[in-house]
Copies of this chain bind each other. A is one copy, B any other.
Amino acid sequence: MTTLPFSTDLAALLAEVHFNADGLVPAIAQQAGTGEVLMMAWMNHDALVETVTTGRVCYWSRSRRALWRKGETSGQSQHLKELRVDCDGDTLLLIVEQKGVACHTGRRSCFYQSWGAAGFATVLDVETPPETLYGAGQP
């Protein structure tokens, strides 16, 4: 088992993180090295603890009301390199190694719609078709 670069003093971590009234905290995923912002999702207590103890990013899916181990279905996992907490303790920045694509549309980042002079433009290409990620018949 690889030693993770994170303290196991979870009480110290949790003391600085403020979950909202729903027990959630927003987490921004940024690719290590390139600085690309990949996605924003939510974590609850268990997702955060799992992430820092396994090194594999786990969110809370608000739609499915379940832990969401990123890449569990698609294989496009995120591995945590560094965890930052903001000044208010109410937002996390996950510096990650993203395997493949972060977006369910098959793009590296979920932020592929850019609002410009002519309205919206799609600025990132699909790298892996969704049917490859999720199998035929799934969105």
Contacts and interface: CB of A to CB of B under 8 A. Distances in A.
A123 to B, nearest CB: 8
Interface residues of A, number: 42
A46 interface: no
B28 A40 contact: yes
Contacts of A5: 116-117
B12 A119 contact: yes
Contacts of A40: 26, 28, 40, 86, 91
Given A35-B35, A37-B28, A119 B87 contact: no
A103 B85 CA distance: 13
A68 to B, nearest CB: 14
